[in-house]
């Protein structure tokens, strides 16, 4: 495994919904790469474009399709953005798998869990019914479902949220994907179950050697699971770093404000430091740096230009014009 | 010691489950879900009591019983020493206890402006005199929660989630209660907005001496805001103590597991094994002994057969036959990195 | 209660269904109100000299077997039918919504009793029930009102009750309860405005069903009695002359289709307009 090998490289991705004058650019000029076998975190608050970004990768938009999508998405040397829908279907589910936030609705309630797992296996790997069943049992065991032989014949309603997410992970990993996209996989779960699921993902990542794109709003989850991380705000990446760098030296004022807003500094008392105001409308973002109306360090120049990501040190960059200045 | 504002003694609540076709055919009895089991709690004036636990632990049912949305089957609830009877006048209770809900998108009537929502409380309870005085009071309430009075003509769907939660708090304050039950008031909000709402609640507590029952699953938030904390599991309080004592010297294995499961925002302190294995047992058929015995790593034989009582040492109560008093505990909160010095 | 916000106005402007529907409704109402005085014939005056005249400029819709002007009769029947339909829809709407609201809000045994009764009524086919009530009591306008009210309210009660069951769990309803508001206030001010939309939309569909119902009764001889012009009766009368006087049945039929279309459009449009934004 060479360090330079990228599983996924996204360049200048821009995704717009709706038509002018109400067009909203949910993802604006986003570039990042995910290396083989790494856990890459995409973190930000609701509406920052993190979910749209990962859905764009495999063009899974559900009801609301974007009106425009530009940029290149290179996965194992192929440009996914240019693939025909039928070719994309082959990639989706076999080489790139996805798990979602809500494990309650992602399974078909009228179908036995076993059949839902076997279906994918038989479609992608052309296994016989018996082989598929055996493989399903192995898979459920590998994601920590007790007594899988018995559980295969249950319907999803008999499973708790954590168990369903395990089943969904089993389905996602059935074909040993090269990339797992996990969109807020633990947000709907209790904290002890979240802990179990995150550790399960890390363990399976090591076993399969896949890369993971983890979308989350929780900086604690990032610190515990990711190798590298991109912080998004209002559709743009504002900071990109290794997890160690990000927590040791958060550089963008937004990242710092986000960390400061957490009631995590041990003990009670002391006021929290919220970020004033609320995130901007994507249809009419503020000029210049999108964070400047809420930024305590803003200077007039911030309104003039959108700052590009600038390197701070090897592997760490932030989009803020005041980065170079002494703090 | 001040007289408690609210004291709850040994309340229980069960919900009957619907019987499905098979139950009817096999004549099996209607199952009941024990949402609350022998819960006791006191709240003193101006005190913040945190109630934490995972989904289905009964913390919301407890809040609803206190606010009068549910009626407990057994036990007593006393308001300033006098029993709150089941058929008590809802209007009187409303002036004592108010509630703030989780979902700011569902907790405001979508067809009423923010001003109308607030004014209605004043009118129903005959507060703040005539119409002109009521309008002044509405402005005052909006300012109190940090909103511009100009917003009062707006409908709920035109304001942000954080602003809606402020209006919900203002609506509760309009009734001038002495206790507010806040059921997951910040869990639907983004981190930066969460901090705004928590600060607001702390300010109001300091200014108006309102007591708060703060129900949440986020232990960091509870630790930040609470004076005392009760940890719930399967409808019971398994541990209760002053906040600092609970977070630095937790005794119940579940409390410890819960604390260790919080993802710490520090990549240097990673753990590789989950803090608690397994999942909450089916609340329709809870274990005979200790509720946590199916997942506990310190389980001893009596745990599986005997139901532990809440053992009280001073302010610190724990419902465990094998409490972790002698085992060391590393408080995850004490080693948070000081991040982002601006 | 702010119903006509700028938002509503903007959404109305984009709502082609509602615009066309309301325009057609205006045409129908104006025709029913002023039509009879504009058409120079008496709808009930017999003219045995001119039976079964095909549409001409003088008689745009032709004349029927008794020489009556079909246009005058269609227009006059519109007045009668629209009035009957309005009552037959509004009464069940009011009764059913009230019962559904109370039943869903209080729940418990009140709800069980009411809903069992609804289930029993639901088990009978609509027309069987209406026809047997009118047949038993005798055909008259009052009895038609009675029959429709007795039968149709269950639909509204079911719709509103279902919505109330959902709204009762919403946090703004719980908040109203914690705030000590009276049951009447919670039901009327907090629940009703947020649950009535589907009932109103259904009311528009019900207009279509009712116009068909009322005219079917007329067709069967159980509705409005001759010589009062009525679309269903007219279609029934024209049946015998379908070869020589197709226009006798066609124009009242088209009138029914027009009314149906109008209210379907209004129903769809209202559905879009009134659905509250999250």
Mean pLDDT score, A161-169 = 86
What is the pLDDT, as a whole number, of residue B331? 64
In a domain, A10, yes or no: yes
Alpha-carbon gap: C152 to the closest alpha carbon of chain B (Å): 28
Alpha-carbon gap: A16 to the closest alpha carbon of chain B (Å): 22
- The reply to whether omega before A21 is within 30° of 0 (cis) is yes
What is the pLDDT, as a whole number, of residue C58? 80
Q: Mean pLDDT, chain B, as a whole number?
A: 87
Whether chain C has a CB inside 8 Å of the CB on B123: the answer is no
Q: Is the pLDDT of residue B66 over 90?
A: yes
Q: Is the pLDDT of residue A265 over 60?
A: no
State which H helix or E strand residue A127 sits in: none
Q: Which of B91, B110, B124 is nearest residue C276 as measured by Cβ atoms?
A: B110
Neighbours of chain C (3+ CB pairs under 8 A): B
Q: Do B217 and A190 touch (CB under 8 A)?
A: yes
Percentage of residues in chain C having pLDDT higher than 90: 29
Mean pLDDT score, A131-145 = 86
The model carries a pTM of 0.85
Range of the domain at A25: 6-233
The domain tally of chain A equals 1
Angstrom distance (rounded) from CA C106 to CA A194: 39
What tens digit of pLDDT does each residue of A200-226 get?
A: 999 999 988 999 999 999 999 999 999
Enumerate the residues of chain C whose CB falls inside 8 A of the CB of residue B155.
Answer: 2, 5, 7
Chains B and C touch (3+ CB pairs under 8 A): yes
Q: Is the pLDDT of residue B118 over 50?
A: yes
Alpha-carbon gap: C91 to the closest alpha carbon of chain B (Å): 26
Whether chain A has a CB inside 8 Å of the CB on B338: the answer is yes
- Which of the residue ranges A42-46, A81-85, A121-125, B197-201 would you say has the lowest mean pLDDT? A121-125
Which B residues 107-146 touch A at CB under 8 Å? none
Whether the Cβ atoms of residue B333 and residue B221 lie closer than 8 Å to each other = no
Whether the Cβ atoms of residue A296 and residue A260 lie closer than 8 Å to each other = no
Q: Is the pLDDT of residue A6 over 90?
A: no
Mean pLDDT score, B249-269 = 88
In this structure, what CATH number is given to the domain that contains residue C20?
1.10.3720.10
Q: Do C177 and B102 touch (CB under 8 A)?
A: no
In three-state secondary structure terms, A70 is strand
Q: Is the pLDDT of residue B336 over 70?
A: no
C-alpha angle with apex B322: B317 to B327, nearest 5 degrees? 90
Q: Do A195 and B275 touch (CB under 8 A)?
A: yes
Q: Is the pLDDT of residue B327 over 70?
A: no
Enumerate the residues of chain B whose CB falls inside 8 A of the CB of residue C277.
Answer: 110, 157
Q: Which residue has the higher pLDDT, C6 or A60?
A: A60
Q: Mean pLDDT, chain A, as a whole number?
A: 86
Q: Is the pLDDT of residue A123 over 80?
A: no
In a domain, A157, yes or no: yes
In a domain, C32, yes or no: yes
Q: Do B195 and A261 touch (CB under 8 A)?
A: yes
Q: Is the pLDDT of residue A236 over 80?
A: yes
Q: Do C175 and B110 touch (CB under 8 A)?
A: no
Q: Which residue has the higher pLDDT, B21 or B69?
A: B69
The domain tally of chain C equals 1
Angstrom distance (rounded) from CA C148 to CA B247: 67
Angstrom distance (rounded) from CA B270 to CA C265: 61
Q: Is the pLDDT of residue B339 over 50?
A: no
In a domain, C93, yes or no: yes
In a domain, A26, yes or no: yes
Q: Is the pLDDT of residue B338 over 60?
A: no
**C181 Cβ partners below 8 Å, 6+ apart?**
B90, B120, B124, C190
Whether the Cβ atoms of residue B30 and residue B17 lie closer than 8 Å to each other = yes
Mean pLDDT score, B78-97 = 83
Whether chain C has a CB inside 8 Å of the CB on B160: the answer is no
Mean pLDDT score, B177-205 = 91
Grade residue B284 by pLDDT with cuts at 50, 70 and 90: confident
CATH class as words, domain B6-14+32-111+155-331: alpha beta
Angstrom distance (rounded) from CA B37 to CA C239: 74
Q: Is the pLDDT of residue C103 over 90?
A: yes
What is the pLDDT, as a whole number, of residue A264? 62
What is the pLDDT, as a whole number, of residue A173? 84
Rounded to the nearest 5 percent, the helix, strand and coil shares of chain B are 35, 20, 45
Q: Do B101 and C5 touch (CB under 8 A)?
A: no
Grade residue C43 by pLDDT with cuts at 50, 70 and 90: confident
Q: Is the ipTM of this complex over 0.90?
A: no
Whether chain B has a CB inside 8 Å of the CB on C178: the answer is yes
Best residue of B111, B122, B125 to probe chain C, by most C CBs closer than 10 Å: B111
Mean pLDDT score, A91-99 = 85
Q: Do B121 and C179 touch (CB under 8 A)?
A: yes
Q: Do B195 and A243 touch (CB under 8 A)?
A: no
What is the pLDDT, as a whole number, of residue C277? 55
Whether chain B has a CB inside 8 Å of the CB on C276: the answer is yes
Q: Which of A199, A256, A275 is nearest residue B342 as measured by Cβ atoms?
A: A256
What tens digit of pLDDT does each residue of B24-58 get?
A: 777 777 778 888 999 999 999 999 999 999 888 89
Please tell me which residue of chain B has the smallest CA distance to C3: B111
Alpha-carbon gap: B184 to the closest alpha carbon of chain C (Å): 12
Q: Is the pLDDT of residue B176 over 90?
A: yes
State which H helix or E strand residue A79 sits in: strand A78-79
In a domain, A262, yes or no: no
Range of the domain at C253: 11-36+64-274
Percentage of residues in chain A having pLDDT higher than 90: 29
Whether chain C has a CB inside 8 Å of the CB on B298: the answer is no
What tens digit of pLDDT does each residue of A281-304 get?
A: 888 888 899 999 998 888 898 998
Q: Is the pLDDT of residue C160 over 90?
A: yes
Task: Determine the angle formed by the axes of helices C141-169 and C192-219, rounding to 10 degrees.
Answer: 150
What is the pLDDT, as a whole number, of residue B7? 93
For the purposes of burial, counting CB atoms within 10 Å of the CB of A21, is it exposed (0-12), middle (13-18) or buried (19 or more)?
Answer: exposed
> Domains of chain B: which residue ranges?
6-14+32-111+155-331, 112-154
Q: Is the pLDDT of residue C193 over 70?
A: yes
Q: Do B275 and A198 touch (CB under 8 A)?
A: no
What is the pLDDT, as a whole number, of residue B333? 54
In a domain, C131, yes or no: yes
Q: Is the pLDDT of residue B239 over 90?
A: yes
Q: Is the pLDDT of residue A305 over 60?
A: yes
What is the pLDDT, as a whole number, of residue C276? 61
**Residue A82: how many other CB atoms lie within 10 Å:** 11
Angstrom distance (rounded) from CA B93 to CA C181: 11
Q: Is the pLDDT of residue A313 over 60?
A: yes
Whether the Cβ atoms of residue B332 and residue A220 lie closer than 8 Å to each other = no
Percentage of residues in chain B having pLDDT higher than 70: 93
In a domain, C6, yes or no: no
Chains B and A touch (3+ CB pairs under 8 A): yes
Grade residue C90 by pLDDT with cuts at 50, 70 and 90: very high
Q: Which residue has the higher pLDDT, B146 or A327?
A: B146
Enumerate the residues of chain C whose CB falls inside 8 A of the CB of residue B111.
Answer: 1-2, 193-194, 276
In a domain, A12, yes or no: yes
Grade residue B325 by pLDDT with cuts at 50, 70 and 90: low
Q: Is the pLDDT of residue A4 over 70?
A: no
Which B residues 156-195 touch A at CB under 8 Å? 160, 162-163, 190-195
Whether chain C has a CB inside 8 Å of the CB on B95: the answer is yes
């Amino acid at each position: 495994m060479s360090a330079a090998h990228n599983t996924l490289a996204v360049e200048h991705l821009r995704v717009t919904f709706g038509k002018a004058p109400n067009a909203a650019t949910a993802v604006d000029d986003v570039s990042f790469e995910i290396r083989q076998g790494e856990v890459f975190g995409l973190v930000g608050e609701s509406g920052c474009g993190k979910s749209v970004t990962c859905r764009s990768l495999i063009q899974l938009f559900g009801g609301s399709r974007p009106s425009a999508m530009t940029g290149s998405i290179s996965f194992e040397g192929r440009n996914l953005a240019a693939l025909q829908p039928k070719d994309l279907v082959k990639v989706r589910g076999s080489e790139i798998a996805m798990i979602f936030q809500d494990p309650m609705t992602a399974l078909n309630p009228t179908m036995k869990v076993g059949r839902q797992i076997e279906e994918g296996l038989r479609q992608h790997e052309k296994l016989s019914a018996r082989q598929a069943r055996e493989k399903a049992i192995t898979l459920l065991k590998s994601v920590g479902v007790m007594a899988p032989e018995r559980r295969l014949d249950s319907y999803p309603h008999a499973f708790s949220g954590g168990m369903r997410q395990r089943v969904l992970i089993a389905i996602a990993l059935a074909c040993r994907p090269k990339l797992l996209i996990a969109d807020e996989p633990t947000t709907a779960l209790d904290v002890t179950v979240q802990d179990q699921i995150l550790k399960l993902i890390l363990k399976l990542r090591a076993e399969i050697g896949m890369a993971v794109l983890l979308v989350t709003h929780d900086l604690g989850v990032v610190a515990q699971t990711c190798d590298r991380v991109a912080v998004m705000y209002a559709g743009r990446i504002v900071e990109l770093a290794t997890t160690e760098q990000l927590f040791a030296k958060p550089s963008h004022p937004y990242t710092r404000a986000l960390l400061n807003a957490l009631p995590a500094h041990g003990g009670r008392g002391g006021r929290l430091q919220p970020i004033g105001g609320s995130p901007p409308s994507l249809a009419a973002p503020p000029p210049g740096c999108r964070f400047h109306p809420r930024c305590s360090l803003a200077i007039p120049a911030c309104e003039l230009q959108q700052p590009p990501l600038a390197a701070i040190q090897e592997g760490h960059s932030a989009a803020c014009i005041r980065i170079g200045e002494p703090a | 010691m001040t007289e408690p504002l609210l004291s709850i003694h040994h309340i229980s609540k069960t919900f009957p489950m619907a019987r499905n076709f098979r139950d009817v055919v096999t004549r099996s009895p209607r199952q009941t879900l024990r949402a609350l089991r022998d819960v006791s709690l006191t709240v003193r004036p101006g005190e913040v009591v945190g109630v934490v636990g995972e989904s289905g632990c009964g913390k919301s049912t407890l809040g609803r019983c206190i606010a009068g949305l549910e009626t407990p089957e057994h036990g007593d609830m006393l308001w300033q020493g006098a029993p709150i009877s089941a058929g008590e006048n809802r209007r009187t209770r409303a002036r004592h206890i108010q509630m703030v809900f989780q979902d700011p998108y569902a907790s405001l009537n979508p067809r009423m402006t923010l001003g109308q929502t607030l004014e209605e409380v004043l009118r129903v309870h005959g507060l703040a005199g005539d119409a002109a005085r009521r309008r002044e009071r509405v402005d005052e309430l909006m300012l109190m929660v940090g909103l511009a009075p100009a917003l009062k003509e707006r409908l709920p769907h035109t304001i942000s989630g954080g602003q809606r939660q402020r209006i919900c708090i203002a609506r509760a304050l309009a009734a001038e209660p002495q206790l507010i039950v806040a059921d997951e008031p910040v869990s639907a909000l983004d981190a930066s907005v969460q901090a705004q709402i928590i600060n607001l609640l702390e300010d109001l507590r300091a200014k108006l001496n309102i007591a708060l029952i703060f129900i949440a699953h986020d232990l960091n938030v509870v630790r930040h805001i609470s004076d005392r904390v009760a940890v719930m599991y399967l409808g019971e309080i398994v541990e209760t103590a002053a906040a600092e004592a609970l977070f630095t010297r937790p005794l119940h294995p579940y409390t410890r597991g819960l604390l260790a499961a919080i993802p710490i925002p520090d990549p240097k302190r990673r753990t590789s094994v989950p803090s608690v294995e397994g999942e909450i047992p089916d609340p329709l058929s809870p274990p005979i002994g200790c509720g946590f015995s199916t997942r506990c790593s310190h389980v001893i034989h009596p745990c599986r057969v005997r139901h532990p009582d809440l053992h009280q040492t001073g302010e610190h109560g724990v419902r465990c036959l094998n409490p972790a008093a002698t085992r060391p505990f590393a408080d995850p909160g004490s080693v948070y990195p000081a991040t982002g010095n601006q | 209660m702010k119903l006509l916000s700028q938002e509503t106005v903007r959404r109305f402007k984009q709502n082609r269904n509602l615009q066309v529907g309301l325009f057609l409704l205006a045409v129908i109402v104006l025709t029913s109100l002023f039509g009879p005085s504009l058409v120079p014939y008496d709808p009930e005056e017999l003219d045995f000299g001119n039976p079964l005249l095909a549409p001409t400029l003088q008689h745009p819709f032709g004349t029927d077997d008794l020489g009556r002007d079909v246009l005058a009769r269609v227009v006059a029947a519109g007045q009668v039918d629209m009035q009957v339909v309005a009552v037959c829809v509004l009464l069940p709407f009011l009764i059913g919504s009230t019962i559904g609201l109370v039943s869903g809000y209080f729940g418990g045994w009140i709800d069980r009793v009411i809903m069992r009764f609804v289930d029993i009524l639901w088990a009978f086919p609509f027309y069987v029930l209406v026809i047997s009530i009118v047949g038993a009591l005798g055909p008259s306008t009052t009895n038609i009102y009675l029959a429709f009210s007795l039968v149709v309210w269950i639909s509204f009660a079911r719709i509103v009750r279902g919505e109330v069951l959902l709204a009762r769990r919403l946090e703004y309803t719980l908040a109203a309860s914690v705030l000590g508001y009276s049951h009447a206030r919670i039901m009327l001010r907090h629940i009703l405005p947020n649950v009535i939309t589907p009932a109103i939309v259904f009311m528009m569909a019900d207009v279509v069903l009712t116009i068909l119902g009322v005219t079917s009764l007329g067709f069967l001889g159980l509705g409005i009695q001759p010589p009062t012009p009525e679309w269903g009766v007219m279609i029934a009368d024209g049946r015998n002359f379908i070869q020589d006087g197709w226009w006798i049945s066609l124009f009242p039929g088209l009138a029914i289709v027009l009314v149906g279309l109008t209210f379907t459009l209004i129903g769809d449009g209202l559905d879009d307009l009134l659905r509250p934004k999250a």
